[in-house]
Amino acid sequence: MLSLLKHDTTKVIRVDAEELKKLVLDRLKEVGFVIAENGTLCPPLVDKDGLRQIHRPASELEIAARQDWLRQHLPEYLPFFADGEEIIPECVDPALVEVTTEQQHNLFRVARLLWSIPFSKGYGRRLRFLIIDRANHKLIGLLALQSPPLSFPARDRLFRYPPGKKTELVNQTMDIQTLGSVPPYDRLLGGKLVALVAASNEIRQVYWRKYSGRVTEMEQRVLPPHLVALTTTSAFGRSSLYNRLSYNGTVIAESLGYTEGYGTFHLMELYPLFREFLESQGISTRGGFGTGPRRKWQTMVRALDQLGLSSDLLRHGVKREVFLFRLVNNLEDYLEGRDAEPVYRNLPFSELIAWWRERWLLPRAERVDGWRAWRKEEIKSLLLMEQDEGAK
């Protein structure tokens, strides 16, 4: 189905309502969904590998849209990735680098395309970080934070916000938008490292420096520059990355249960066609302040409605595990208005790194050795698509 877009996002194929409706139904059947007589969606019974397969077309679409850029820039950024033989586990020395320069943005961009789920720029307040191994100047992993959803049931049922204060208080948290490590560090549990780093003193200190005194663009007010908690959801059901993540007896990632199984990822391959169809019907799909993460959702709901399909097709049934990272000891008291100031946990970056090294890195390096065979040249085969003869 990826061929519908001919790997060229500047030439969106126009389809009429019946053709697009058929594409929607064919796409869902292709990945194993069954549509009940009442229009609801019955998800396929799949494991994590199966869920990755469902995400793959949308990820391939992202990669396809960036082929020209990748062919031009990948040779410049490939040296930032490690060969397995370049890693000496005892010498791994992680450093936290905030993404601020064009080169750092480009390296983040390349690495993020290696993920199994599609790339998103995020929304609202944003922070991006690279985790670099100073021992060999190679990339270990990525961390990106964005403004939290104002409505998030798994989080909101924990707190009784004071009347009229929810927006101000929730906006002193952030949502983890990207977190993970790249090969071959992922095989040495580098993802655990990045998850620990997310809770570090240094992350909230960067937030303080960047947003202290900043006026919000939507409501033109200054929010307290406290970062008191992070939230995130697992990519594929129950999370092996966040479960049992702790530091010296302190739980870092607290499970809050599961989402309700709504979303857009299983139809993301058709999103450009949805937009084109709505625009042809005189329905604007432009974003803007206030749309945030719901823009794609709203576009798809409108498109499905125009096609005579139920919005229940967005209930994919994949329940993602939700996690809370407490950055303060008095989170309930602060978010419920009983305490005027947060009492921060003390989680220094250096100590979290030392804990990860002894708890996960070194034992893992002794138990497995497949990471040594990894070659960064494999990234080319993951990101560069074969060119048509006429384009060579």
pLDDT digit string (tens) for 1-52? 333 343 343 444 556 888 998 888 888 887 777 777 766 667 665 555 656 6
Q: Output the pTM of the full model.
A: 0.81
Give the count of beta carbons closer than 10 Å to the beta carbon of residue 350.
Answer: 11
Helix or strand holding residue 138 (H, E): strand 138-146
pLDDT at 209: 94
Using alpha carbons, select from 120, 108, 82, 95 the residue that is nearest to residue 197. 95
pLDDT at 40: 67
Q: What does the pLDDT look like over 47-69, one tens digit per residue? A: 556 566 666 666 777 888 899 99
Instruction: Collect all residues with Cβ–Cβ distance below 8 Å to 30 and sequence separation of at least 6.
Output: 1
pLDDT at 267: 78
Helix or strand holding residue 128 (H, E): strand 126-133
User: What amino acid is encoded at 142 in this protein?
Assistant: L
pLDDT at 317: 65
Please, are residues 347 and 341 in contact by the beta-carbon 8 Å criterion?
no
**Mean of the per-residue pLDDT values of the chain:** 85
pLDDT at 388: 54
Q: Which residues of the chain have pLDDT under 70?
A: 1-15, 38-41, 43-58, 118-119, 213-222, 236-238, 260-263, 265, 287-294, 316-318, 387-392
